[in-house]
Amino acid sequence: MKLLIVESPAKAKTISKYLDNLYTVKASVGHIRDLPKSNKKAIDIENGFIPHYEISPGKEKVVSELKSLSKKADEVLLATDPDREGEAIAWHIKEAIGLKNPKRVVFHEITKEAVQEAINHPRDIDDNLRKAQEARRVLDRLVGYDLSGLIWKKVRYGLSAGRVQSPALRILMEREREIRAFKSEKYWNISADVLSASKTPFTLICIIEPRDNKEVERIVKIGNEGNWTVIGLDESEAKRTPRPPFITSTLQQSASTRLGMSPSRTMGVAQKLYEEGFITYMRTDSTALSSYAQNQIGEVVGKKFGQELYVPRVFSKKSKNAQEAHEAIRPTHLSDENVGHTPEQKSLYKLIWQRTVASQMSDARILRTKMTANVIIPSNTSGQAIPDFTINGSRVINPGWLLADPDARSEDVELPKVTVGEKLTLKEIKTEEKETQPPFRYSEAGLIKELEKRGIGRPSTYASIIKTLEERGYVDKINKALNPTDTGDVVSSFLEQNFGNYISDTFTAEMEDKLDTISRGEIDYEKTLKDFYKPFSKDVKSKEKMEKVTNLGEADNSIVCPKCSSSMVIKLSKNGKFLSCSKFPECNGARTMEGKELEGPKELDEICPKCGKSKLVEREGRFGKFISCGSYPKCKFIKKDAELERQNSTGVKCPLCKDGMMTERRGRFGLFYSCSNYPDCKNAIKAKPTGKLCPVCGALMMEGTKTIPERCSVKTCPNHNPHKLV
């Protein structure tokens, strides 16, 4: 028997079809080992930053099965993803199941030809790539734990910081401060909707600096009464060169802009397309295309658009350390245009197909145009001239690559062909008093572009960076814009003031370069970490004596404490900023940032049954009132509402403590189901339990939806497959 181990069950299923039953294909279901949660046990700093790995919870049966199969196998191939993380997973599998000489194969695309070619050319696990990934993991743990621990003590319990997450937050806050400092100026925007002689509509614009309304009224009056004419044309022919094929960052940006997909969603959909064999590997910073792909594109262009439009191109490498995969993201078979099982997969595949084909086509020729128009005032009248109205746009002379990617045409305003002296027909003239706008907040696509520009993070990390910022409550996504929250503001300000050199662009980019040099075997893993951690830990320790950052500044003098009329200060709670009495804790008066009075916790005549020291208090939470210990967070006792527990009970017994009932609850991410004995029992799942137990791992089964049937509640369970019943 020959054993081939991949990461994903879907990938295993696809690959099995191409190996003619010569291999048993099994999935590790992602990572099987990781650092323990306790930082004291995780890394042996003194003996050379040696990480101590543990089998990930829920992966015990996966490891046991792989170990059993490997003992029966004549040959074991490790075919995890073709990047550093995949190399690390392959090494972890080798170590966990005790393989002596496993071979490593990589699939940059999952097609029959590529799979069989890779199987015929195995190699050893690349230890340099593995060490680079290990260095990243250890580095992130050291920075995250040390900085987060300090923030817990000096700002607020439960906050976090990260080596790459914090520089990204700093970028968002830098823009936010620009917006706050911006002073707007008023102006008038006068627009004239007109028709050309060919009846093509377009809009001319005139910007008027702040003046009295009479000037605006005069322009509108003359504009409505006069005859509009083209008085000037400034035209210049230009070329629009196609963009390179997608790399990870540009795919995330385009999917966000055109399809409205978040980076994490884009990568999830792309992963499915890759595992089904529809596209090449989606974590890459290389724009290269193989000769095989070039030939396929040439055939497609010849059949669909004309062979004369096929122009083979080689794009320069965007990243100086393009190390992930060897090719850009492209369809594995260019002849297929409509591919995918879901609307999202089809939309993303179409986007990739268009970009790939367009990249190898001739330039589009366009005529960039600035048109000027005005009302012709007869010389025998006493009327005064009005300012010119203009519009900038372009006209496509030869579409070239835009035939393959027509959606890219919308990036320019297309103007009709006109001539100087041509009469225009006015449809309507409108005025609007406006204000100059501050810089835009970053969208997800904009932040990814900025991170890439500054050398922060890597293709595989962009989506997780943004997801982490949202999950931590540091940013809110409002109308596609990433808005820093009060908590994000306070955390970023604290880090900038105290650890600015560690969250700077320079430091973060240089550290990425060092990880790249480790992957090439040019510098030592231990020395790199030692050179960083020694001064870093010293800086962290030096800040431990600083006072706790409880006050974030003084409130407006006009706002006083509702209880004692003293001045107020700005503080941070888990729900954002609020105003607190400056005499706290003697006085617990509080207000919202807008000045509305806040009611503090109401003390009850009942001692906490858990700690036996503090009185219970009634608090107002995000989801209503509840009763808890007055010493929270030292004592986390919460008094249960028996009636509410009864109403929300699912009737399913908790399989973990075998005493409580699974109960419906609501958290920051929506509905979930947990044991009624929480916090003593922390069993929790995302969907409503069915009462059945998984035949593989014994965990609860959850209800499905119209598209996802019943499945195991443990995501790492081998039977956790949303596409078929367990």
Q: Is 81 helix (H, G, I), strand (E, B) or coil?
A: coil
Q: Give the pair of three-digit tokens for residue 522.
A: 């040019």
User: For residue 374, which of 583, 223, 260, 505 has the smallest C-alpha distance?
Assistant: 223
Question: Residue 413 and residue 369: Cα distance in Å, rounded?
Answer: 10
Q: Report DSSP state, residue 402.
A: G
User: For residue 258, which of 443, 429, 5 has the smallest C-alpha distance?
Assistant: 443
User: For residue 602, which of 581, 580, 630 has the smallest C-alpha distance?
Assistant: 630
Place of tokens 């089809």: 346
Q: Which residues are CB-contacts of 622 (< 8 A; sequence separation ≥ 6)?
A: 575, 668
Question: Residue 291 and residue 476: Cα distance in Å, rounded?
Answer: 44
Q: What share of the chain is helix, strand, coil (3-state, %, to 5)?
A: 35, 25, 40
DSSP strands (E only) in 2-102: 2-6, 24-27, 33-34, 43-44, 50-51, 54-55, 75-78
Q: Give the pair of three-digit tokens for residue 418.
A: 């006109």
Neighbour-count burial of 355, counting CB atoms closer than 10 A to its CB (0-12 exposed, 13-18 middle, 19+ buried): buried
Question: Residue 356 and residue 350: Cα distance in Å, rounded?
Answer: 10
Question: Residue 117 and residue 119: Cα distance in Å, rounded?
Answer: 6
Q: Is 5 helix (H, G, I), strand (E, B) or coil?
A: strand
Alpha helices in 396-475 (DSSP H): 444-454, 462-471
**332 neighbors 110 (Cβ within 8 angstroms):** yes
Is 281 catalytic? The answer is: yes
Strand partners, 483: 476
User: For residue 267, which of 45, 473, 48, 85 has the smallest C-alpha distance?
Assistant: 85
Task: Indicate the Cα dihedral angle 530, 533, 535, 536, nearest 10°.
Answer: 170
Q: Give the pair of three-digit tokens for residue 173.
A: 């806050």
Question: Residue 488 and residue 175: Cα distance in Å, rounded?
Answer: 13
Catalytic residue, candidates 23, 145, 281, 442: 281
Question: Residue 266 and residue 503: Cα distance in Å, rounded?
Answer: 27
Q: Is 300 helix (H, G, I), strand (E, B) or coil?
A: helix
Put residue 520 in one of left, alpha, beta given phi > 0 → left and psi -120 to 50 → alpha. Answer: alpha
- The CB density around residue 594, as the number of other CB atoms within 10 Å, is 7
Handedness of CA 218, 222, 224, 228 (dihedral sign): negative
Strand partners, 376: 227
Which positions are annotated as active-site residues? 281
